[in-house]
Amino acid sequence: MDLNTACMKTLAIILAGGRGSRLKQLTDYRSKPAVPIAGKYKIIDFPLSNCVNSGVRRIAVLTQYRSHTLNQHVQRGWNFLRSDFNEFIELWPAQQQTGEEWYQGTADAVFQNLKMIDELDSEYVLILAGDHVYKQDYSLMLKEHMETGADVSVACIEVPVSEADQFGIMHVDEDDNIIAFEEKPKNPPTMPGNPDVSLASMGIYIFSTKFLSEHLRSDALDDDSSHDFGKDLIPFFVGRSNIKAHHFANSCVKNESYPDVPYWRDVGTLTAYWESNMDLTRLLPELDLYDDNWPIRTAQYQRPAAKFNYNYEERIGTALNSVVSAGCIVSGSTVEKSILFNNVRVNSFSHVNKCVVLPRVDIGRHCRLTSVVVDSDCKIPEGMVIGEDAELDAKRFYRNEDGITLVTQTMIENIDKEQ
């Protein structure tokens, strides 16, 4: 089977049902894959774009937790594929198809949809997480999977040993056979010949469909299993099946400015989320969103261009080393090292520094914000200062140990109630 045909016979399943509780109040009313990122996108846009750009155009998005905004985004922004060519992006909500339980783990989420998977008659199944930011050509991983005759291929990335206890870690031989797999180990195995680096699973798997189906059915009958790929199935396959490690460096879409730095981020914490957005304000970001050969798509709406008003002393509308999205108005204020999402307004005499400001936020006059993540639809009252008094910020908002403050409209309204 040639590679183009193999891509057409591959079903991509994006696991997008998770809450992402480490993002705190950012996921109070949306799932983690629906969290806005990079000025105009949502996190789910990255695996979806990777699929389309890779030639994998049969895609199921599995949803569960507070999926309304995610469903709306996918329906409005990702409905361009040709059904007459057997291409589709479908939302598969949790439906309790195999019993009365909602999804119990990542493997159970796929198991509960086996009927639809079998009906599609695919040769391969590509399992993806819906909450990571990266650019990868899945066809190159599929090509390697076919050439090695693997039952399952696991995408992996090199991480420092000091961070390895946050991931599922693989031990491989010189032929990239996975000979051990440990979920978040205290003493992680290192790469052959490199004691400072471990191989971490990225939560990206390619299975032969028949192999996957058989083992999901067996796992579903195991009462001792948590029905999770990383915790149960992948460790079970080690020593029993042909399980291969695929190095992300071999299929990542490289940034010409950082050709030796494969970009992949799990933006699962507030600090990681803030840092990923801040990267885009640099002169040469590690994540290249300006690559026409690998576009990141999203839902497009009709918005005016960004506008900057006033040019008086102490009242100059300006943005420095920042990303300002469509629909924004910077009116007599200064935005520095920040990223403004769509339809943000920053009013006169305010200063916004190292902030991530989500869509439709209105920042009042004479405000000062430093190292703040402002959730969608917030109205920051005139004269409010956030990011300069750690004790006061912790009382009014959520402030983490790295000094990043998260502000939501509910928090602002609670301040008004207490006063």
Residue 184: per-residue pLDDT: 85
249 found inside a domain:
yes
284 found inside a domain:
no
For residue 65, pLDDT beyond 90: no
Residue 100: per-residue pLDDT: 59
Give the mean pLDDT of 203-221. 95
Residue 168 maps to which CATH number?
Answer: 3.90.550.10
For residue 98, pLDDT beyond 60: no
275 and 332 together in one domain: no
For residue 102, pLDDT beyond 90: no
**Where does 285-384 show beta strands of DSSP type E?**
307-309, 311-312, 315-316, 318-320, 323-324, 329-331, 334-336, 339-340, 345-346, 351-353, 356-357, 362-363, 368-370, 372-374, 379-380
387 and 243 together in one domain: no
The answer to whether 184 and 235 are in contact (CB under 8 A) is no
Name the strand (E) or helix (H) holding 410. helix 409-418
Residue 373: per-residue pLDDT: 98
Give the mean pLDDT of 285-296. 96
89 or 66: which carries more pLDDT confidence?
A: 89
For residue 56, pLDDT beyond 80: yes
167 and 42 together in one domain: yes
99 found inside a domain:
yes
Share of the chain above pLDDT 90, in %: 82
295 found inside a domain:
no
The answer to whether 408 and 25 are in contact (CB under 8 A) is yes
**What number of other Cβ atoms are within 10 A of residue 27's Cβ?**
20
End-of-domain residue from the set 238, 259, 279: 279
What tens digit of pLDDT does each residue of 139-174 get? 999 999 999 999 999 999 999 998 888 889 998 988
89 and 208 together in one domain: yes
Chain position carrying tokens 């910077």: 330
Amino acid at 396: R
Chain position carrying tokens 């961070």: 163
Residue 410 maps to which CATH number?
Answer: 2.160.10.10
209 found inside a domain:
yes
Nearest one of 337, 418, 351, 343 to 384, comparing CA atoms? 351
User: Which residue ranges are tagged as binding site for alpha-D-glucose 1-phosphate?
Assistant: 103, 168, 183-184, 201
332 found inside a domain:
yes
232 and 348 together in one domain: no
For residue 397, pLDDT beyond 70: yes
What tens digit of pLDDT does each residue of 120-135 get? 999 999 999 999 999 9
For residue 40, pLDDT beyond 80: yes
222 and 351 together in one domain: no
91 and 206 together in one domain: yes
Backbone angles phi, psi at 45, to 5 degrees: -65, -25
Residue 104: per-residue pLDDT: 81
Share of the chain above pLDDT 70, in %: 98
Q: What is the pTM of this model?
A: 0.95
350 and 228 together in one domain: no
Residue 193: per-residue pLDDT: 78
Number of domains in the chain: 2
297 found inside a domain:
no
For residue 18, pLDDT beyond 90: no
Residue 412: per-residue pLDDT: 97
pLDDT band at residue 91 using 50, 70 and 90 as cut-offs: very high
Give the mean pLDDT of 224-242. 92
137 and 32 together in one domain: yes
For residue 109, pLDDT beyond 80: yes
224-238 burial by CB neighbour count: b if 16+ within 10 A, else e?
Answer: ebebbbbbbbbbbbb
334 and 387 together in one domain: yes
Residue 99: per-residue pLDDT: 57
Of the listed ranges 72-81, 99-108, 369-378, 409-418, the least confidently predicted one is: 99-108
209 and 79 together in one domain: yes
pLDDT band at residue 187 using 50, 70 and 90 as cut-offs: confident
User: Which residue ranges are tagged as binding site?
Assistant: 103, 168, 183-184, 201
What tens digit of pLDDT does each residue of 316-346 get? 999 999 999 999 999 999 999 999 999 999 9
Average pLDDT over all residues of the chain: 93
Give the mean pLDDT of 394-410. 97
End-of-domain residue from the set 241, 262, 279: 279
- Domain range holding 230? 3-279
Chain position carrying tokens 């039952």: 151
Residue 54: per-residue pLDDT: 98
161 and 111 together in one domain: yes
288 found inside a domain:
no
Nearest one of 112, 87, 114 to 207, comparing CA atoms? 114
